[in-house]
Amino acid sequence: MVLSLENLRQVRERWVAFIPPRPLTFEEFVDMFGEDDDVELVDGIVIAKMAAQDIHEDLFGWLYVIVSMFVEATNLGIVRGPRTAVRIHAYRARLPDLLFVRLSRRSIVRQKGVYGAPDLVIEILSPTDRPSDILARKLDYRSIGVREIWFVDLPNKRLRVLRKRGRSYREEVLTEGVMRSSVLKGFWVRVEWLFSPRRPKAAEVLRQLLGREVF
């Protein structure tokens, strides 16, 4: 299909930007802002992220416990949360909700950020997320070669997974069933759990994943 202005979807958005006298570099950004600053670096400009809703924080807490405990128990690598900056390029940084780096690549995780592509990135989308920002995140993660990208779409109750295949990505959208990670070996979740207010306890999920008790 040939694209024209008429078949593009118009979206009106608002955000708060902190504009420096000159574009900030990644190194300046991580030196200037701390763990309490919920911001990202986009083309040298600091963009404030919208406050997360409780449904977002509840799911994040559940996922973080499961993924981090699974990785610790299997000694597969390193897990970090939403206060760890990932360098996209000299003037751009993203702070995904959750990321995983394989043990063999642990050198990219440094004191002030991740200098390289995580193996897995998980982003939890809320109603306040702007469509253009979601697209920008997708392109940013693809540009550095993240092998597996999860977008947990809370408003639409669906999971979008992008997997790197050679130079391109294959995308899968699920609303139910089991999603098995291709980079976090042995890790899987039922898609329905992500959107249920009565999701199973983290300890029970870990027992299923590992075949033993962990708490």
pLDDT at residue 48 is higher than 50? yes
Mean predicted confidence (pLDDT) in 6-31: 74
Looking at residue 6, what DSSP letter applies? G
Residues 92 and 115: their CA atoms lie apart, in Å, by 12
Q: What structural domains and CATH numbers belong to the chain? A: 51-210 (3.90.1570.10)
Alpha carbon 23 to its chain centroid, in Å, reads 25
Of 137, 117, 112, 109, which is closest to residue 32 (Cα–Cα)? Answer: 112
pLDDT given at position 2:
54
- Supply the pLDDT for residue 12: 46
pLDDT band at 202 (very low <50, low <70, confident <90, very high): very high
Mean pLDDT, the chain, integer: 90
The rounded distance, in Å, linking the Cα atoms of 79 and 97 is 11
Q: What is the pLDDT of residues 88-134, one digit of tens each?
A: 999 999 999 999 999 999 999 999 999 999 999 999 998 888 888 89
CA separation for the pair 152, 56 (Å, rounded)? 10
For residues 116 and 189, give the distance between their C-alpha atoms in angstroms, rounded to a whole number.
26
Q: Which pLDDT tens digit goes with each residue over 132-184?
A: 889 999 999 999 999 999 999 999 999 999 999 998 999 999 999 999 999 99
